[in-house]
Structures are given as C-alpha cells and as structure tokens.
Amino acid sequence: MLLGVNIDHVATLRNARGGEEPEPLLAAQICEKCGASSITTHLREDRRHIKDEDVYAIRKTLKTNLNLEMAVTDEMQAIALKYKPRAVCLVPEKRQEVTTEGGLDVAGRLAGIAEFVAPLKNAGIEVSLFIDPARKQVEAAAKSGAQFVELHTGAYSLAYKTVNEASEFKKLKEAAKIAHDFGLEVNAGHGLNYKNVIRMHEISGLYELNIGHSIISRAVFVGLEQAVNEMIELVK
C-alpha cells in the first residue's frame, strides 16, 4: 500500500495572508524525498488553495506522480489535458463546502461522466472517481471507463472508536471487493489520520491512500519530513 500526500493545506496557509510562503512546490519536493508515491492537489473552481501556477510548477519539477483532483467541468478537463498529470481524480465540488463532503454521484451521471473520462484516458491519463463505498456507485464507476476508484473514507474516519465504526468499515471493505471484482484498482482517502489509518490494512488490495490534512497538521509541530515519514511507516 502506497501513500499519496495532499498538499492543498500548505497552499491554504500561504493564501491566508498572500505572498509566497509556505511554498507548495517545496512541500511537494519534501514529500517526494520522503518517498511519497504521489502528490495530490485539488485545483478548485474558486482557487481557494492550490492555484494553476502551483500545478504547473509541480508537474514541471517533480519526478513523482501528480494526482490532480478536479471537478467534472470543461475548464478542469482542459487544464488536465494541458498539463497531463499522471492521474486525475474526479470529485464533486460545491463552493460553500469547507472540504469535499461526499462522493461523486457516478450512478446518477453515468453518461456524462463516461463522456468526460474518455478524452482523459485517450491522453494517457489515469482516471479515478472519488465515490462513496456503495455498490451502485462502484458498478457505475466500472461502466464509466475509469481505471480507479478512490473510496471516500470520511464516514469511517468520523465513526472511528464509536458504535458506528464497524458498519462504516464494512462498507469500505465490501466496496473494495466489488471494485476488484469489476477489475478496478482501488485507492482510499478523506479524513484518515495517524490513529484510524491502521485499519486500512484490513482491506485487501488497496493500492494507495491519499492523505493531506492530518499530515500537514502534524507537520506544524514536528516538521513535514517527520510527519510524512511517520505516516509512510503506518501505511507500510
């Protein structure tokens, strides 16, 4: 199981007062040096954290993989086709949300999403769909042409150490099995931290975990290199 690091909140801190510090590119370079398998950036419509120039700098400079999270819009498709990251992850997006609140409704938008995925795949970009761990969403993802799904672990993360943990974890485990049965590769992420990430080892065949906020939060106290190394050890 690999670790992809989301550096969005380095950009959040930079944007809090403008200027250049802290630099998302430098954060990405540190994560790459520590052995992160990919760097994730979410280029939102409102550019609240990562900006276009950040994506360009990371794509141009790093040797490790760039995973570009993005909404299903013509603007974002054009940007992905321009920069050609290793992978894109299609996510739902609402201007008023603090962070991504749920999975993409692939089942309800299958025709449009399949049409959106095709040119990305034709350009050699791996496509992942960020979905809730529900059978209908996994089945729709398999029909969309995407090669990956990323299971939304937010409900499990919130339920960790509560009476709902077992049921939320079961959903993830079952969704991963269904996805594998359909020939999809499976990633997971959202809300994972240094305590609840350990159970991901109980899910067979997970390829990569994408974790950001928890790592950046810990980095405030111990430094980014140590924070990434500690999470890599837990993921291993």
Supply the residues annotated as catalytic. 42, 69, 190
DSSP summary character for residue 99: S
SS3 131: strand
Written as six digits, the tokens of 10 are: 């380095």
What distance in Å separates the CA atoms of residue 200 and residue 188, rounded to the nearest whole number? 9
Contacting residues for 91 by C-beta, under 8 A, at least 6 apart: 42, 69, 70, 71, 100, 104, 130
The answer to whether the CB of 38 falls within 8 A of the CB of 52 is no
Compute the Cα dihedral for 153, 154, 155, 159 and give only its sign.
positive
175 half-sphere exposure, CB direction, 13 A CA radius: 29
What distance in Å separates the CA atoms of residue 83 and residue 41, rounded to the nearest whole number? 13
